[in-house]
Structure 1
């Protein structure tokens, strides 16, 4: 049985800040941001967008009525959860109008959450081949103003429909994975900003990739020559390149050129959005599929997922016949082109807007937000969501 990605949706907020201008304001050489870490623009979520609305907007464009009936499981991968008890998936379940007999849960393991959800979805479809699973990877990366991690912030979500009719990518059965209890990145429950040991995290990312890649080769017998491209989890776009370079000598010059070229293409969207944690790997995959028009069906794509703390996994997928027909290239081009640039001062003001924590009522002007699904306010400690299309 084939199991894999039938549909992919993506959403990012309508505001962004230019990294060149942010660098100037922070008294940093712009090349440190644009070349050193490889970021051009950073998505800025207004107060009317959170991890729930980002995910719901990403899914809204791809989930049709037939999907709503067939989806019997919604798995929300995030490390920007809005409630310690209630799953963010329940809110999305309601906002999309999914089948009431569909389960909805939230999973967490740093940036690995969406990959964990996909692996769970594969098992579910294997047992229920007529059903579908909605997988969501949605996050807002926050480190704080004037911090070392500020330039690697971002916001966005990727939604995937996993089924036994994988029109885009069939996920192959075997994968390699690794878990280790380390403190390279974390966010205690009392903090709305993450803590990171940047140098250590970079080292662990590459170490995990090296160990998992060796395990994957041993398990499958596959090598670089068998991969058309490798997509990486991208906390910033230079990170994946550092890992990729560690294995390029294993292939021919042709392998090296192919993988480097396709890697660069796979970072296009991430470079203009920033870090979206659980969705970053799948935004990279989406960028590759939509921006490289001559990827051949039958090509094998490698995927490296890493979630600090840490869990990593390497797995692969096979591009399906006519897969481009099921992508949303024009819609995503419009999403990017319709965004509004804000000044650094405007970005700082938006960043510091927060929701009340004392149970008071607040209402937001959602007409300023072009998204179809928004956070409209809070009442009695409950977030209020609106789907403008209902």
Structure 2
């Protein structure tokens, strides 16, 4: 029995910053951001968008095309949690009107969270083949205005339906995992912004990729040339490009060209959205499917990384007719709806979103009708509404 991704939904907030504008405001050469970091735009979440609301909106992209009665599990991966105790998934479950019998919880390991959720869901469906699972990765990457990490911020969510006999992507058995207790990136409870050792984190990311990729090939008796594409966790596209260069090192021209071309396809969405932590790998997977011309059966490798640190490499095969489940036009419309912020506007939106609204004050979204948003708190209970 094959188990894998049957539906996939994307969401990103309705505001963005242009990297050229940001570079000029920070007295930097724009190419440092456009080429050196590999980003062209960065989605910005205002006070009405958080991990929960983005997760709801991503799932709403496909919820009307599934049998909700078959959903038996909902797992939410995030490092932008809105409560120290209550799971973000419970708010999502209510908004989606899923049945009370659904098992639901939240998982955390930095950017690895959605992969952890996916593997839990895969195993759940294998034991319960007549049920499906929803997994969500939803995050807002914040380092602070004017900080070295500012250009690698962003916001977004990916939601996926996992089921037997999937329509998009069949997961293969096995994986290669590697973990170490290190401090390349972290966010203490008192801080609304992350702390990072940038160069160190990049090197750990590359080391973990090398270890897990080589181990996976050894386990599966595969060669690099066997992969039709490799997708990566993509906090900024240049970081993943460095991993792809490791993958193609020493390969023949055909393999190198193939994997370089697939990487170009996979980076397109991330280049415009920015860092979405748990969702980043799967934004790159969606971008690959929308921008490359892969045939059914193509072998796609995935490298997931969460600082602190956890790395994993696994693979899957594209399913016949997967193109029918992908809607590039709607994803482009989602990005194109965004308002371009001036730098002063961006700084104001960013800094306001770091603060909790006064309890009892109702927030109102300026996004389009049908969008879910955080509407403030009542007696310190978070409220979510559909516009």
> In structure 1, how many angstroms separate the alpha carbons of the residues matched to 2:335 and 2:310?
31
- The answer for the alignment partner of 1:27 in structure 2 is 27
> In structure 1, how many angstroms separate the alpha carbons of the residues matched to 2:103 and 2:263?
36
Note the residue ranges of structure 1 that are not aligned, 5 or more in a row.
none
- The answer for the alignment partner of 1:48 in structure 2 is 48
> Residues 224 and 250 of structure 1 are in contact (CA less than 8 Å); yes or no, is this contact kept in structure 2?
no
- The answer for the alignment partner of 1:229 in structure 2 is 229
Alpha-carbon offset, residue 67 of structure 1:
2.9
- The answer for the alignment partner of 1:325 in structure 2 is 324
Q: Could you say what the CA RMSD is over the residues aligned between the two structures, in angstroms?
A: 1.4
The 5 A counterparts of 1:106-145 are 106-145=106-145
- The answer for the alignment partner of 1:91 in structure 2 is 91
Q: 1:77 to 1:368 in 2, by over 3 A?
A: closer
- The answer for the alignment partner of 1:220 in structure 2 is 220
Which secondary structure does the structure 2 equivalent of 1:82 belong to?
coil
> In structure 2, how many angstroms separate the alpha carbons of the residues matched to 1:66 and 1:369?
24
Moved more, 60-69 or 271-280: 60-69
Alpha-carbon offset, residue 214 of structure 1:
1.5
Which secondary structure does the structure 2 equivalent of 1:313 belong to?
strand
> Residues 301 and 318 of structure 1 are in contact (CA less than 8 Å); yes or no, is this contact kept in structure 2?
yes
Offset from partner CA, 1:358-379 (integer Å, 9 cap, x none): 9732111225555610111222
- The answer for the alignment partner of 1:350 in structure 2 is 349
> In structure 1, how many angstroms separate the alpha carbons of the residues matched to 2:23 and 2:193?
21
1:338 pairs with 2:358:
no
Which secondary structure does the structure 1 equivalent of 2:33 belong to?
helix
Which secondary structure does the structure 2 equivalent of 1:353 belong to?
helix
- The answer for the alignment partner of 1:263 in structure 2 is 263
> In structure 1, how many angstroms separate the alpha carbons of the residues matched to 2:264 and 2:356?
43
Note the residue ranges of structure 2 that are not aligned, 5 or more in a row.
none
> In structure 2, how many angstroms separate the alpha carbons of the residues matched to 1:368 and 1:211?
43
Alpha-carbon offset, residue 37 of structure 1:
0.6
Alpha-carbon offset, residue 357 of structure 1:
5.3
> Residues 48 and 369 of structure 1 are in contact (CA less than 8 Å); yes or no, is this contact kept in structure 2?
no
- The answer for the alignment partner of 2:39 in structure 1 is 39
Q: 1:357 to 1:10 in 2, by over 3 A?
A: closer
- The answer for the alignment partner of 2:196 in structure 1 is 196
Alpha-carbon offset, residue 333 of structure 1:
1.6
- The answer for the alignment partner of 2:371 in structure 1 is 372
Offset from partner CA, 1:33-52 (integer Å, 9 cap, x none): 00001000000111111000
- The answer for the alignment partner of 1:104 in structure 2 is 104
Q: 1:103 to 1:290 in 2, by over 3 A?
A: same
- The answer for the alignment partner of 1:174 in structure 2 is 174
Give 4+ residue runs of structure 1 displaced > 3 Å after superposition.
Answer: 354-359, 367-371
Offset from partner CA, 1:84-123 (integer Å, 9 cap, x none): 0000000000011112210110000000000000111111
> Residues 14 and 370 of structure 1 are in contact (CA less than 8 Å); yes or no, is this contact kept in structure 2?
no
> In structure 2, how many angstroms separate the alpha carbons of the residues matched to 1:223 and 1:326?
30
- The answer for the alignment partner of 1:184 in structure 2 is 184
> In structure 2, how many angstroms separate the alpha carbons of the residues matched to 1:60 and 1:314?
29
> In structure 2, how many angstroms separate the alpha carbons of the residues matched to 1:58 and 1:264?
24
The 5 A counterparts of 1:276-287 are 276-287=276-287
> In structure 1, how many angstroms separate the alpha carbons of the residues matched to 2:192 and 2:58?
23
> In structure 2, how many angstroms separate the alpha carbons of the residues matched to 1:367 and 1:308?
34
Q: TM-score, normalised by structure 1?
A: 0.97
Offset from partner CA, 1:174-215 (integer Å, 9 cap, x none): 110101000000001111100000010011000001111121
Q: TM-score, normalised by structure 2?
A: 0.97
